[in-house]
Amino acid sequence: MENELKKMTLYDLPIGYKAKVYANESKGEKRRRMLDIGLVQGTWVECLRISPIGEPKAFKIRGAIIALRNEDAGEIIVDSISE
Amino acid sequence: MIKFIKGKGGNFLSFKVALLGNPNTGKTTLFNVLTGLNQHTGNWAGKTVLKSVGSYVYEGQKYEVIDLPGTYSVVSSSAEEEVARNYLCFANPEVVVVVVDATNLERNLNLVLQLLEIKSNIIVCVNLLDEAERKKIKIRLDLLEEELGVPVVGISARKKEGISNLLEDISNVAKGEVKTNPYLVKYNLEIEEKIKLLEGRLKAFIPPMINNRWLALRLLEGDEEVIFSLEESLNKNINKEVLS
């Protein structure tokens, strides 16, 4: 089930769901870092698993599995959420 | 013991070859294949990030290989990236070998594009070709070479395949026998104009081994680390002279 319009942050994306990056709201050096790991507009991201203590979360981003802190994942806005 | 024979370039000095690439692209496997047991680990300029140095001899010429830490980028500033970047800019290796993962080329090419902006003496080494083949991924190395404008060589470090081609390419680039024409990312008109302006001002006092276009881009980004590193190595205040 795809929902083109609904937006959420990457932090809210449940395990097993995929979504497309809509915007990257981080600033400065962190923004550059997020872009470098592949979080540019239009990139598909899948939430793979969550640490027992709630963070970090592991995401599949352009062929690599990358763990993000909730604080950082919260700055990435995604849409086209699907299972 | 291999005896030293005077190389084509007519000197006994070794060429420096830097190995760079994303994490888990088999850089260290390649490093071990190239240098065998002739290696030691060193600590880089006050930082806790280790780099390994080794050497080999090819056609009578000695090559010193530096295994830099794996990074996704050389512009955002984690300690590893700074080590890699400062090595490239200030140690001036004769050859930079970027190791990329054939099974995940898209992710890896980000780093390649960044490096092409800094240096022209680059070889793109597509590793894990055996694994790519198993995943039914076919890579058109010739097309990639055409697009990037630098030598591209396919290898499988684990199976020791393609190493002789790589050694030959390294030798050719080190001796300046290959002319590279690296692909540069074009920015929008406004940025390109600013780059030109800054490049002109930088030319006067930046040593020729440092790429002024790249430096201009970093200055436009407000990258403080690079400015600091540069000021340290030149003993001058750049902000006042260039950015005013």
The pLDDT tens digits of the residues spanning A10-25 come to 999 999 999 999 999 9
Instruction: Please count the other Cβ atoms lying within 10 Å of the Cβ belonging to residue B119.
Output: 22
Closest-CA distance of chain A to residue B223, Å: 9
Residue found by looking up tokens 């684990």 in the block: B158
Task: Quote the CA–CA distance of B70 and B25 in Å, as a whole number.
Answer: 8
B92 backbone φψ class: left, alpha, beta (φ>0; ψ -120 to 50): left
Closest-CA distance of chain B to residue A9, Å: 23
Using the Cβ of B76 and the Cβ atoms of chain A, whether some distance falls under 8 Å is answered with yes
Chain A residues whose CB is inside 8 A of the B132 CB are none
Q: Which of B76, B221, B227 to mutate to test the interface with A (most CBs of A within 10 A)?
A: B76
Point out the least confidently predicted range of A34-38, A64-68, B59-63, B77-81.
B77-81
Over residues B201-213, mean pLDDT: 80
Q: Do A36 and B110 touch (CB under 8 A)?
A: yes
Mean pLDDT score of chain B, rounded to an integer? 84
Q: Is the confidence metric ipTM above 0.85 for this complex?
A: no
pLDDT number for residue B70: 86
The residue with greater pLDDT, B49 or A80, is: A80
Using the Cβ of A83 and the Cβ atoms of chain B, whether some distance falls under 8 Å is answered with no
Please determine, for residue B241, whether its predicted confidence score (pLDDT) is greater than 80: no
Closest-CA distance of chain A to residue B63, Å: 31
